[in-house]
A = this chain, B = another copy of it.
């Protein structure tokens, strides 16, 4: 058991990078670690699996709560759906726990619920249980929404695995990568993080600024229908850089990605340059990163590109045997190690 530490929590402890790994591995997991279930807590995947039930949870503290392209409600519900999908689950039901400060406008709460309602209807999943707490003014600054989700094994998963090169796995877990897998990202990177930063700090990067918040049920269905998908990640906190490094570490492989192939919107690129932020380290809320068997990668890409959320999808790299960690081939032809971000450049983006 850990020794209780005489230290204070910092923002970096929640930023999805190295400091957060430390918090989890040294202060949280030692009290909880167990190997219950097929995908246990200790795997630190997007979801866990017990007796074929996929299960996930996330608290959402995004600030501001309304932003171009979404709000805390669409963010929470989409995030939970995406976490269930990412492991190979088919969402069955969601829960919603709301903590709201006294004095918050009831109309704004209803706007958030309306936006949740829109996503549930579009994706076809219900919220079946919930909780509402009101706390005194000043005890919290904005509402906090926590969504959990349960799912079953996706009905297309067995067929998908037939094309995944004989891998012995029932779920799309982080440790499934094998050399020569292709890395697909389902669209442009950094939209959400830059949008939140722009709104919060009033940078005014212009009219195109818009979060990518979206539930990716259709993207996942298209990919699994083609088959050969070995693993899927939801690149939220820590962004693409963090997802790739988690894969490399958990699958004990190296990954090489090409900077020129990573989809990046103009406004994200210029805002990142201006602020000195690496867009690869910024959170996304409507993108998947997929590792796909090389024989199916092009087909999966074509199929994902037919969807609204996946039309900018691209193959950005591959898994390499003779490599350690994650290497980025830069546009000018050099190579640099793409490390796990130490801290998130933008706190409270989700």
Contacts and interface: CB of A to CB of B under 8 A. Distances in A.
A24 to B, nearest CB: 7
Grouping DSSP codes into helix (H, G, I), strand (E, B) and loop, the A interface class, with mixed when no group exceeds half, is mixed
Nearest to A112: B31
A27 B113 contact: yes
Contact of A93 (B10, B36, B99, B135): B36
B99 A13 contact: no
Contact of A126 (B15, B41, B92, B95): B41
A234 to B, nearest CB: 12
Interface residues of A, number: 85
Contact of A140 (B2, B51, B141): B141
Interface stretch (A103-111, A172-180, A267-275): A103-111
Given A7-B107, A23-B106, A135-B347, 20 more contacts: A4-B107, A6-B107, A8-B106, A10-B103, A13-B132, A23-B132, A27-B109, A28-B113, A32-B116, A34-B128, A36-B126, A48-B93, A50-B128, A55-B95, A55-B148, A57-B131, A58-B131, A60-B133, A61-B99, A139-B142
Interface of A: 1-2, 4-15, 20, 23-24, 27-28, 31-32, 34, 36-37, 40-41, 47-48, 50-51, 53, 55-61, 63, 92-93, 95-107, 109-111, 113-114, 116-117, 120, 126-136, 138-142, 144, 146, 148, 150, 152, 347-348
12 contacts: A6-B106, A9-B134, A12-B134, A14-B134, A32-B116, A32-B127, A37-B128, A53-B93, A53-B150, A58-B97, A59-B98, A150-B150
